[in-house]
Amino acid sequence: MASYRKRSGGWYVEIRKRGIYRSRTFSTKAAAKYWADEIEADIESGRPMGQHTLAQAMQRYSRDVSSKKKGARWERLRLDAFESSMAFSGKAIDDVTPNDLATWRDQRLTKVAASSLRRDFNLLNSVFEIARREWRWITSNPLKDVSRPANPPPREQLISEDQAASVKEAAGYWRGMEPRTTQQVVAAAFDLALETAMRAGEIRGLRGPQIHLAERYVDLPETKNGRRRQVPLTTAAVEILAAMDPDEPFPVTSGTMDATFRRIRRKAGLSEAFTFHDSRATAITRLAKRLDIHDLARMTGHRDLSMLTRYYRATASEIAQRLD
In a domain, 194, yes or no: yes
Average pLDDT over residues 20-24: 76
- CA–CA dist 40, 47 (Å, integer): 10
Give residue 239's pLDDT.
96
Integer Cα distance of 229 and 295 in angstroms: 12
Give the active site residue among 22, 24, 105, 199.
Answer: 199
- Same structural domain, 176 and 316: yes
Residues 169 and 280 in one domain: yes
Give the tens place of pLDDT for each residue, 138-182.
Answer: 888 999 999 998 876 666 678 899 999 999 999 999 999 999 999
Both 137 and 202 in one domain: the answer is no
The domain that holds 123 is classified in CATH as 1.10.150.130
Number of domains in the chain: 2
> Domain limits at 276?
161-321
269 with 227, same domain? yes
pLDDT of residue 137: 86
| Residue 153 maps to a domain | no
**Least confident segment among 173-182, 245-254, 277-286:** 277-286
168: annotated active-site residue = no
Give helix 182-196 / helix 278-287 axis angle, nearest 10°: 40
pTM of the model: 0.61
Does 189 share its domain with 141? no
**Cα gap 241→262, rounded to integer Å:** 23
The answer to whether 43 touches 20, Cβ cutoff 8 Å, is yes
Domain identity same for 195 and 285: yes
My answer on whether 200 and 93 are in the same domain is: no
How many angstroms separate the Cα of 96 from the Cα of each of 57, 90, 143, 254, 300? Answer: 12, 10, 9, 37, 41
Same domain, 14 and 133: yes
Domain boundary pick from 145, 172, 194: 145
| CA–CA gap between residue 297 and residue 313 (Å, rounded) | 15
Helix (H/G/I), strand (E/B), else coil: 130: helix
In the predicted structure, residue 12 carries a pLDDT above the cut 70: yes
Residue 200's Cβ-count burial label (10 Å; 0-12, 13-18, 19+) is buried
Q: Of residues 63, 119, 144, 224, which has the active-site annotation?
A: 224
Residue 155 falls within a domain, yes or no? Answer: no
Same domain? For 100 and 134 the reply is: yes
114: Cβ contacts below 8 Å, ≥ 6 apart:
149, 150, 151, 152
Shared-domain flag, residues 118 and 179 = no
Residue 293 lies in a domain: yes
Same domain, 289 and 167: yes
Q: What is the DSSP string of 16-76?
A: EETTEEEEEEESSHHHHHHHHHHHHHHHHHT-GGG--BHHHHHHHHHHHTGGGSTTHHHHH
Q: Residues 78, 108, 229, 302: which is the catalytic one?
A: 302
- Give domain status of residue 150, yes or no: no
Does 311 reside within a domain? Answer: yes
Question: How high is the mean pLDDT of the chain?
Answer: 86
Lowest-pLDDT range, 100-109, 248-257, 301-310?
A: 301-310
Last residue of a domain, which of 145, 172, 199?
145
Q: Is the pLDDT of residue 312 over 80?
A: no
The residue from 145, 175, 198 where one domain ends is: 145
Q: Is the pLDDT higher at 17 or at 149?
A: 149
Does residue 316 form part of some domain? yes
Is there a single domain that holds both residue 288 and residue 249?
A: yes
Does residue 201 belong to any structural domain of this protein? Answer: yes
In the residue annotation, 302 being an active-site residue is answered as yes
**29 part of the active site:** no
Catalytic, 312? Answer yes
State percent of the chain over pLDDT 70: 90
